[in-house]
Structure 1
Amino acid sequence: MKLSPLAFTFTVLLTYSLAQSANATIYWFTDENGVAHFSNVPTDKRYVPFTSTNDAVAKKTIPGTRDRRPDTPAKVQYGAIIEEIARIYALESALIHAVVSAESAYNATAVSKKGAAGLMQLMPDTARRYGATDRFDPVQNLHAGTRYLSDLLRMFNGNVSLALAAYNAGENNVVKYGNQIPPFQETRMYVPKVLDLYRKYQVSMKLPPVRRGI
């Protein structure tokens, strides 16, 4: 079934809620035309688990993508969700893709040494602040991480570099150092890396060039 943006968002949220309440696994895939398909019976080999509350997410692969670009399976799995969440929070999907790529390489079960988890590597406090009860669930993680990024962009007047620095090092550190990128090696490497990915995704997705201050 082909879904409009609004219908897709509703279907995603409804599917997630029903799966949780029924303790069932919902499967989905996006076909070559960008159409999202949902089912509780995976009759097509392209179906993958929609939720990540068990080990299936860590083990799943998508047939036919082993020899393609590394980000191709991720775009199939999460591209449609990222696009909708980007609309909800009025951000460019390219920026969200860039952060996800840099943070977890699209691994929904990734955990850092510092305890950040999921696609956008949420710390426990950040997850609680934005209502994500399961950091390993892609939908919850993307919603919370994108909302946090949106708030940081507003906090730093649309300056992408400062917002990214705050995402990595915390907003208090950016403020502490006079609204400049903090002098932390990790952060100094993180910001240009994400900006480079951001521009590359804009080109590959044929989006307008960056308009925010960087």
Structure 2
Amino acid sequence: MRYLAANYEHGREGLKQDYQQAFQLYCQAALKGDADSAYSLGFMYFNGRGKPRDLGLAVRWFKQAADAGDVHAQKMLARYSDLSPAEDSACKQAEPELKLVADANPNKQAVANWVNQIAPRYGIDPELVMAVIRAESGFNSTAVSNKNAQGLMQLIPATAARFGVADSWDPIQNIKGGTAYLHWLIRHFDGKVDLVLAAYNAGEGAVERYHGIPPYRETQNYVKQILAWYGKSLHPIPADLSIPPVSRQKT
């Protein structure tokens, strides 16, 4: 998450500079105890980068980083020892588990809210997940294909089981399972978004067999459409979460 946050902060690895995305990713990582991300949050507040300049909030994050042994943060705390840390309402611990709204068919905004919370946990750009959901189900959580692919991210039962999804009709579980699969594919195909999308649609075995996008009209149109929406050909390679590969055949 820190790596992806830094790419958003500085506009690297084909990503458009986006301080808000960087802040949210740094926040998620800092809340998990990452000292470097805590320091980066402090730095953003200290310099007014994407947030109004606020020394009290900067000190709050410098203190967390310093307590974890970050030397740079310790120097900043010494420099501003007369300031008290402020509570950061923009970055605080969420509920242990996401709360599922009792809506069998959530609207696009509800899906976006879930994706924005789930995707960073896997080091995945939320915009990519949203583009895949748009192509797969049109944000319809009750969608089912003739191959029995189910829900928002159209998980077949084998894929769902491999990624620990007990109920593919549960929108949050479905997003987690599909995002976990994207995580594995991005690592497997070195962040090449066209191959990741082709494998999500046709299976990674087909991509490897054809040494590229398979000559299936459905898959080629699928890749072309999502690339047009997403607009990025490369995705930063996320950290290894030790998720096993799966086989998915839809075409």
Using a 3 Å threshold, how does the CA distance of structure 1 residues 175 and 210 change in structure 2: closer, same or farther? closer
Task: Please name the residue that 1:7 is paired with.
Answer: 94
Indicate the residue corresponding to 1:145 in structure 2: 178
For 2:122 and 2:108, the matched residues in 1 are separated by 21
Structure 1 residues 167 and 120 mapped into 2: Cα distance closer, same or farther (>3 Å)? same
Structure 2 unaligned residues grouped into runs of 5+? 1-88, 237-251
SS of structure 2 residue aligned to 1:183: coil
Pair 1:158-2:191 in alignment: yes
Change (3 A) 1:155 1:114: same
Which SS does the other structure have where 1:7 is aligned?
Answer: coil
Confirm or deny: 8 A CA contact 1:5 1:84 kept in the other structure.
Answer: no
Deviation at 1:163, TM superposition (A): 0.5
- 1:99–1:120 CA contact under 8 A, matched in 2: yes
CA distance in 2, matches of 1:98, 1:121: 13
What secondary structure does 1:91 align onto?
coil
Contact 1:168 1:187 in 2 (8 A): yes
Residue 90 (structure 1) shift: 0.8
Tell me if 1:86 matches 2:122.
Answer: no
Please name the residue that 2:215 is paired with.
183
- How many angstroms does 1:3 deviate by? 7.5
Query: Which deviations, in whole Å up to 9, do the C-alpha atoms of 1:93-146 show, x marking residues without a partner?
Result: 100000000000000010011110000000111000001011110110000000
Verify the 8 A CA contact 2:189 2:196 in the aligned structure 1: yes
Q: Which residue of 2 aligns with 1:169?
A: 202
Q: Which letter does structure 2 place at the counterpart of 1:129?
A: R
Q: When the two structures are aligned, how many residues end up with a matched partner? A: 148
TM-score with structure 1 setting the length? 0.64
* One-letter amino acid matched to 2:182: L
Instruction: Tell whether 2:148 aligns with 1:115.
Output: yes
Q: Give 1:212 shift.
A: 3.5
- Give the deviation of 1:5 after TM superposition: 6.5
- Compute the RMSD of aligned alpha carbons: 2.1
Matched, 1:100 2:133: yes
Which amino acid is 1:158 matched to? G
Distance in structure 1 (CA, Å) of the matches to 2:178 and 2:223? 16
> Looking at CA atoms only, which structure, 1 or 2, has the larger radius of gyration?
2
For structure 1, the 5+ residue unaligned runs are 17-26, 28-48, 51-56, 61-72, 200-208
SS at structure 2 position matched to 1:141:
helix
The whole-number CA distance in structure 2 between the counterparts of 1:174 and 1:96 is: 20
The structure in which a higher percent of residues are strand is: 1
